[in-house]
Structure 1
């Protein structure tokens, strides 16, 4: 069985490394990016099963990046999990059109749980 693919967008290298470590350990294939530059192209090249989207991204914020993906005919089906330390993360996730959200700092169990929910 091929591993499910997860794409994590975050401008914080430490968070990307942490997510990679946790999710690879759980048996997923991971790609990360520190920028939402050409977001559609980045996602089309990988075609992940799920995407984590940080709110603060260089060039294109998480809201714009999520909207771009959700308006793309080949990408709109991919669940996007909004990923932020903002207090109003649920409002931001709604505005972006994300499928769900995960507050930072997150615990490992919560990260694995939200992935399972959206990949089952």
Structure 2
């Protein structure tokens, strides 16, 4: 399966990263994770994912700034970014960041897969 879609998850919580990896690999995706959004452009360029999940609470560079940086980048701006947080205000945070969608935590597995399928047109 050389054509599996790549999902990049940014979250500073190791449990969430592990959970997402298990769920998404099980669903046939290739998964890359990072606990920091520092050098976000370099991190994403190195992997060129099909879709990105971005947590709000990341050390140093927060999710909003990281998402804006991606959306301002000519090569990376077309990769869908899903804003991903336990904050009740996830929708307005996603809008501020310029994200393509959002998922509130805790999420269920079906929601996670649905949002990926929707944005990747699967």
| 1:74 corresponds to | 75
| Equivalent residue runs for 1:10-49 within 5 Å | 10-49=11-50
Structure 1 residue 32: Cα displacement: 0.1
| 1:61 corresponds to | 62
- Scaled by the length of structure 1, the TM-score of the pair is 0.99
Question: Could you list the runs of 5+ residues in structure 2 that have no partner in the other structure?
Answer: none
Distance 1:67 1:19 in 2: 23
Structure 1 residue 84: Cα displacement: 0.2
Distance 1:65 1:37 in 2: 8
Q: Secondary structure at the match of 1:6?
A: strand
Distance 1:80 1:72 in 2: 13
- Scaled by the length of structure 2, the TM-score of the pair is 0.97
Distance 1:78 1:16 in 2: 20
Distance 2:110 2:23 in 1: 10
Question: Could you list the runs of 5+ residues in structure 1 that have no partner in the other structure?
Answer: none
Structure 1 residue 117: Cα displacement: 0.3
Q: Secondary structure at the match of 1:36?
A: coil
**Runs of 4+ displaced beyond 4 Å:** none
| Equivalent residues, number | 120
Structure 1 residue 59: Cα displacement: 1.1
